[in-house]
A and B are shown apart, each in its own frame.
Chain A
Amino acid sequence: AQSVAQPEDQVNVAEGNPLTVKCTYSVSGNPYLFWYVQYPNRGLQFLLKYITGDNLVKGSYGFEAEFNKSQTSFHLKKPSALVSDSALYFCAVREIPPGRDDKIIFGKGTRLHILP
């Protein structure tokens, strides 16, 4: 069965500095990997996903994530943090190809706090 871990409950970064939110995963086959962001009192919003191809995936709002198969990681990154990036970030994984019974598993979330 697949699993995903976000080892940090909270990450604090000064505005303008680069940020990294960590995610590691476990699947028996090849993974689909996702990042979602959740702002207060709102549903999750899709940021980016990795299916295949280039290990560096670019997404919304200037975010990118790097797929590292040997380390089973999919860390979310941004070169220069904005205060408006403060939110709850979720990593998610599922196996490919999609089957009838598999599902996306979400991590517990990492709260990103950008300090002005």
Chain B
Amino acid sequence: EAGVVQSPRYKIIEKKQPVAFWCNPISGHNTLYWYLQNLGQGPELLIRYENEEAVDDSQLPKDRFSAERLKGVDSTLKIQPAELGDSAVYLCASSPARLAGLDTQYFGPGTRLTVL
């Protein structure tokens, strides 16, 4: 079984530039999560999707961050414009059926973003 795929693995941009991250969850997983992980910290949820619906985006800085999950499969997280403080690892995870309790999360390798 293929795991969660994320691309790119690394991204270096200058501040004020846009950036996008892509995630392909494990096949059949209804729930998709985007997390932010700062150095030395645990993951912090940015947004959670149940199929194509964003059901928890309370921690997403909506002035510059946006996300979509078209057709309830792949997802894209975008930052525009990026700021220095956005430098972090962006993790994508998926789980089979969260509301049924089957919510062990499977994580991708992450995208390490560096904003100069």
Q: Cβ of A103: which chain B residues have Cβ within 8 Å of it?
A: 45, 48, 56
B99 to A, closest residue via Cβ: A98
Q: Cβ of A41: which chain B residues have Cβ within 8 Å of it?
A: 109
User: With A43-B109, A98-B98, A103-B48 known to touch, is A109 a contact of B40 (CB < 8 Å)?
Assistant: yes
User: CA–CA, A46 to B93, complex, Å?
Assistant: 11
Q: Contact residues of A with B, CB < 8 Å?
A: 32, 34, 36, 41-46, 49, 51, 90, 92, 94, 96-98, 100-101, 103-104, 106-109
B103 contacts the other chain (CB 8 A): yes
User: CA–CA, A44 to B109, complex, Å?
Assistant: 8
User: CA–CA, A106 to B46, complex, Å?
Assistant: 13
Within 8 Å by CB of A43, from B48, B55, B91, B99, lies: B91
Q: Contact residues of B with A, CB < 8 Å?
A: 4, 6, 40-45, 48, 55-56, 91, 93, 98-99, 101, 103-110
Q: Cβ of B101: which chain A residues have Cβ within 8 Å of it?
A: 51, 96-98
Known: A44-B91, A46-B106, A97-B101. 7 other contacts (CB 8 A): A43-B91, A43-B107, A51-B101, A98-B99, A98-B103, A101-B56, A108-B42
Q: Cβ of A46: which chain B residues have Cβ within 8 Å of it?
A: 104-106
User: CA–CA, A61 to B68, complex, Å?
Assistant: 36
Within 8 Å by CB of A106, from B43, B48, B56, B110, lies: B43
User: With A98-B99, A101-B56 known to touch, is A108 a contact of B108 (CB < 8 Å)?
Assistant: no
